[in-house]
Amino acid sequence: MPLTMLIEPDLWFPNSLDLNPVDYAVWDALQQITYQCRRFTTVNQLKKAIVTQWGKVPQRLVDHTIGQWRRQLGCVVQKQGGHIKHLILKH
């Protein structure tokens, strides 16, 4: 029997990118740093650049993003798991 048959869908844990600090803030910063004035011709070049640039993501951004997590969580709860980008932009 598939796992989905054992657990009713309304009891599944949420899997929201809005609740993952790396997804809602840090990856965007890493992408901006990595692509700033650079173009890549191979996947290996891109991989190396990402690894190198990871160390340049400001710690204050990571700290601030983690500090905002409770607010993100509150918005997700308010929207009952729905899209929250418009709520975040208002605050």
pLDDT of residue 65: 86
pLDDT of residue 28: 86
> For the chain, what are the domain ranges?
19-90
The pLDDT averaged over each successive group of 10 residues in the chain (91 residues) is 54 62 81 88 94 92 87 82 64 46
Tell me the residue length of the chain.
Answer: 91
pLDDT of residue 51: 93
pLDDT of residue 44: 95
CB 5 within 8 Å of CB 72: no
pLDDT of residue 23: 73
CB 65 within 8 Å of CB 58: no
Angle at CA 61, nearest 5°, toward 72 and 68? 20
pLDDT of residue 3: 47
Query: Distance (Å, rounded) from C-alpha 53 to C-alpha 46?
Result: 10
- Block residue for tokens 């790396």: 22
